[in-house]
Amino acid sequence: MDVKVKKVGVLGCGLMGSGIAQVAAQAGYPTTVVEVSKEALEAGLKRIDRFLAGGVAKGKVTPQDKEATQSRIAGSVDLAAVAECDLVIEAVVEDLAVKRETLARVGTSLRPEAILASNTSSLSITEMASATRRPGRFVGLHFFNPVPLMKLVEVVHTIHTEPGVADAVTGFARSLGKTPIRTSDRTGFIVNRLLVPYLLDAIRALEEGVGSITDIDHGMKLGCGHPMGPLTLNDLVGLDTTLYIADIMYQEFRERRFAPPPLMKRMVLAGFLGRKSGRGFYDYGSEPPRPNDFLVSR
Ligand X SMILES: NC(=O)c1ccc[n+]([C@@H]2O[C@H](COP(=O)([O-])OP(=O)(O)OC[C@H]3O[C@@H](n4cnc5c(N)ncnc54)[C@H](O)[C@@H]3O)[C@@H](O)[C@H]2O)c1
* Of 6 and 38, CB closest to ligand X: 38
Closest approach of ligand X to the CB of residue 106, in Å: 9
In the set 154, 157, 234, 292, the catalytic residue is 154
Nearest-angstrom CA–CA distance, 120 and 248: 12
CB nearer to ligand X: pick between 18 and 292: 18
Q: Assess contact for 172 and 5: CB atoms under 8 A.
A: yes
Q: In angstroms, what is the minimal distance from the CB of 62 to ligand X?
A: 27
Distance of closest approach, residue 211 Cβ to ligand X, in angstroms? 27
Is 192 part of the annotated catalytic residue set? yes
Q: Which residue, 120 or 232, has its beta carbon nearer to ligand X? A: 120
Name the residue nearer to ligand X (CB basis): 17 or 55. 17
Is 234 known to be catalytic?
no
User: CB 221 → ligand X: shortest distance, Å?
Assistant: 22
184 is catalytic: no
- Residues engaged in binding ligand X (CB under 6 A): 11-17, 34-36, 40, 91-94, 98, 102, 119-121, 143-145
Which residue of the set 18, 119, 121, 234 is catalytic? 121
Q: How far is the CB of 179 from ligand X (least distance, A)?
A: 16
Which residue is at the shortest CB distance from ligand X? 14
Cβ closest to ligand X, residue 62 vs residue 145:
145
Q: Which is nearer to ligand X, 92 or 243 (CB)?
A: 92
Q: What is the 3-state secondary structure (H, E, C) of the chain?
A: CCCCCCCEEEECCCHHHHHHHHHHHHCCCCEEEECCCHHHHHHHHHHHHHHHHHHHHCCCCCHHHHHHHHHCEEEECCHHHHCCCCEEEECCCCCHHHHHHHHHHHHHHCCCCCEEEECCCCCCHHHHHHCCCCHHHEEEEEECCCCCCCCEEEEEECCCCCCCHHHHHHHHHHHCCCEEEEEECCCCCCHHHHHHHHHHHHHHHHHCCCCCHHHHHHHHHHHHCCCCCHHHHHHHHCHHHHHHHHHHHHHHHCCHHHCCCHHHHHHHHCCCCEHHHCECCEECCCCCCEECCHHHHC
Minimum CB distance to ligand X, residue 249 (Å):
13
Residue 94 a catalytic site member: no
**What are phi and psi for residue 75, nearest 5 degrees?**
-115, 150
Contacts of 149 (CB under 8 A, 6+ apart): none
- Known catalytic residues? 121, 142, 154, 192
